[in-house]
Amino acid sequence: MHVTIYFPPTATKPPRFKCGVSKPCPEGHYAFKMASGAASVVGPKICLEDSILMSGVKNNVGRGINIALVNGKTGQVIKTEYFDMWAGDVNTIIQFLKTIEDGTIVMMATFDDGATKLNDEARKLISDLGSTSISSLGFRDNWIFVGGKGIKTKSPFEQHIKNNAEANKYEGWPEVLEMEGCIPHKQE
């Protein structure tokens, strides 16, 4: 008598890519994933190359605009900072933006309210980093953006959702925005 024993294939785990992105980035690119804050409760999260740069768990996020600066050639974090755009001073973010050097990757995510104190000068400095939505960012809108100092084009990495009482997911706030992608390394 001949018996065939069938062994079902073992379950294979799907591959995991840096920062949990859905597909691997090509050579010469940094993988990133980020999310805006959720209402005034959960802070934003910024991940680059499998390293969490900013999050509530790291306790380095806050109300307003959260910014991570990354060296475009090496992928090393230069600085992380957040600027309160509800009760803070817009001049602090303006001075910060003016110090960013060419070739720096700039990652930004809002939490709670990122727009109330923004003025034309601050919006222009952010627009110069490649943002197209900053000019229309309003009270409690959610916005996430990756740009760069010295960028010659508009960034493809930007999402914006308006605060709209009829459409908001949370009472008083729109839903969380999430974005992932591959940022090219800065060339010489």
Is the CB of residue 30 less than 8 Å from the CB of residue 74?
no
Q: Read off the pTM.
A: 0.86
- Describe the crossing of helices 120-127 and 90-98 by its angle, rounded to 10 degrees: 30
- The angle at the Cα of 164, spanning 160 to 169, to the nearest 5 degrees, equals 85
Question: Running DSSP on this structure, what letter comes out for residue 104?
Answer: E
User: Which residue in this structure is represented by tokens 């008083």?
Assistant: 172
**pLDDT tens for the chain, residues 1 to 188:** 666 666 566 556 667 789 989 899 999 999 999 998 775 667 899 999 999 999 988 889 999 999 999 999 999 999 999 999 999 999 999 999 999 999 999 999 998 889 999 999 999 999 999 999 999 999 888 899 999 998 888 988 998 877 776 766 666 666 778 899 999 998 76
Beta-bridge mates of residue 71: 104
- CA–CA separation, 86 vs 73, rounded Å? 34
The pairs formed by 87-90 with CB atoms below 8 angstroms and a separation of 24 or more are: 87/117, 88/64, 88/117, 89/117, 90/117, 90/118, 90/119, 90/121, 90/122
Q: Which amino acid is at 87?
A: A
Query: According to the model, what pLDDT value does residue 180 have?
Result: 94
